[in-house]
């Protein structure tokens, strides 16, 4: 299963691989070191990792070194909120991040092991996020509730919009 988008924005791919992986790729018109900063500095993360309009990230703790913690909390204008927690495993600044995260709804979801790489590509960066879930059922659940790659705010919002 693979989907791609294009038009004015650089193409984004969201692909399942094997039974337990989800892979997301996106090109950015900025060097790897800058894209890396936007993924690890709280004051930058809080500007973009938000999902649709109406959501903010009032709490953003990001300690990008081995053993460092992460905690992102989102809230919307209707009083809904949720958060993810995680731990950094390996960090190669400007190039690669390996971390583990889970979402709290409020019960924690199974751990998602995530490797994010930032590679020089043309005039910018190719970012590749490779998620590994414990089993195919967990991955199916993650896709069906819309959680993928730290984009939970968008998806939870979408879920609330859909008449499931």
Partner 1 sequence: MPNLDSTFAALSDPTRRAILARLALGETTVMELAQPFEMTQPAISRHLKVLEAAGLIIRRVEGSKRPARLAPEAITEIDQWLSMLRNALAKNYDRLDRVLAQIEPQKGGNPQ
Residues that bind partner 1 (CB under 8 A): 1, 3, 5, 9-10, 12, 14, 19, 24, 26, 28-31, 33-35, 37-38, 43-44, 47-52, 136-137, 139-141, 143-146, 148-149, 151, 154-155, 157-158, 162-164
* Smallest distance from partner 1 to CB 158, Å: 5
Determine the longest span between alpha carbons in the chain, in angstroms. Answer: 43
Annotate 14-58 with DSSP letters as a single string: EEEETTTEEEEEEEESS-HHHHHHHHH-HHHHHHHTT-STTEEEE
Query: Considering beta carbons, is residue 15 or 81 the nearer one to partner 1?
Result: 15
How far, in Å, CA of 36 to CA of 25, rounded?
Answer: 14
* Smallest distance from partner 1 to CB 11, Å: 10
Query: Considering beta carbons, is residue 106 or 162 the nearer one to partner 1?
Result: 162
* Smallest distance from partner 1 to CB 110, Å: 14
């Amino acid at each position: 299963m693979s989907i791609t988008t294009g038009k004015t924005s650089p193409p984004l791919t969201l692909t399942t691989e094997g039974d337990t992986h989800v892979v997301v790729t996106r090109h950015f018109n900025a060097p790897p070191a800058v894209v890396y900063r936007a993924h690890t500095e709280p004051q930058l993360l809080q500007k973009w990792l938000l999902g649709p309009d109406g959501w903010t990230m009032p709490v953003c703790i990001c300690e990008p070194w081995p053993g460092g913690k992460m905690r992102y909390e989102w809230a919307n204008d209707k009083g809904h909120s949720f958060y993810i927690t995680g731990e950094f495993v390996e960090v190669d600044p400007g190039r690669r991040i390996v971390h583990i995260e889970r979402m709290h709804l409020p019960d924690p979801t199974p751990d998602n092991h995530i490797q994010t790489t930032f590679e020089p590509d043309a005039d910018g960066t190719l970012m590749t996020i490779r998620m590994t879930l414990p089993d195919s059922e967990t991955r199916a659940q993650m896709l069906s509730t819309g959680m993928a790659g730290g984009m939970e705010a968008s998806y939870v919002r979408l879920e609330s919009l859909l008449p499931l």
